Amino acid sequence: MAGKFYDEEFKRRAVDLYESTPGATIQGIGADLGVSRETLRVWVKTFGTGAKTPSATGPDAGAAPESDTARIARLEAELAAQRAEVKKLVTERDILRSAAKDFSNDPSWPGVG
């Protein structure tokens, strides 16, 4: 069975989410994203800045972990942004499909007729 393919932007966003989320673990972020711990670890090694949020490095770091309410609000904002992006991409896809259909019926277009 072939593995899933993730583009570089997804990998970088996953690493950024890991590095910027206080108290985050590779296993936790991987589970949230549906990515194995080892896969995310490789991405962090490849794309990471090494600037992990201090509170995620241990309990004595001083900063409190992100509250459930704050985490939910952040995730809802991310979800809304992703839904807007999907809507935009679907619209662009539909426009391109329509244009391709128009060109395929145009006898003056090269390769038609």
Does 2 or 106 have the greater pLDDT score?
106
Confidence of residue 80 (pLDDT cuts 50, 70, 90): very high
Q: What is the pLDDT of residue 103?
A: 78
Tokens encoding 71: 């985490």
C-beta of residue 15 within 8 angstroms of C-beta of residue 44: yes
**Which pLDDT does position 42 carry in this prediction?**
94
Span 5-55, pLDDT tens digits: 888 888 988 888 888 888 888 898 888 888 899 999 999 999 988 877 665
1-53 fold: Arc Repressor Mutant, subunit A (1.10.10)
Structure tokens at 48: 């990471």
Amino acid at 20: S
CA distances from 101 to 13, 25, 82 (A): 35, 48, 28
Domain spans in the chain, listed from the N-terminal domain onward: 1-53, 66-106
* pLDDT for res 62: 52
Contact 81, 38 (CB under 8 A): no
Tell me the average pLDDT across 54-66. Answer: 57
pLDDT confidence of residue 63: 56
Q: Give the orientation angle of helix 8-20 with respect to helix 37-47, to 10 degrees.
A: 90
